[in-house]
Amino acid sequence: MELLRVRALGVARSFMEEKREVPYARRMTLKDLLALLPEEIKGMAERRELAVIVNGTEVTSTGGLEVELEDGEEVVLLPYAHGG
């Protein structure tokens, strides 16, 4: 079975388990993947509150939510640190 591995770190981990495997579908984009995750995670990504790292490369600033994913890739969701 084709899978993507998703890891949530920081506050994102409070919305889903730290590690999750998601079934991979051909031509799946980061936006497609986020639609399968909890609404809180999707909202954080849409508000640009997450750095999204695919196989060690931060993709949020290069391809945004339209980045195509490949079978077996690891996606890490890392909230940006905010201070006050």
The model's pLDDT over 24-51, given as tens digits with 9 standing for 90+, comes to 988 899 999 999 999 999 999 888 899 9
Domain boundaries 3-77, corresponding CATH code: 3.10.20.30
Q: How far apart are the first and last CA of the chain?
A: 45
User: 21 pairs with which residues across the strands?
Assistant: 5
How does residue 55 score in pLDDT terms, banded at 50, 70 and 90? very high
Give me the count of residues in the chain: 84
Domain boundaries, the chain: 3-77
Contact indicator for 37, 14 with CB cutoff of 8 Å: no
Mean local confidence (pLDDT), 56-81: 88
- Helix, strand or coil, per DSSP, at residue 65: helix
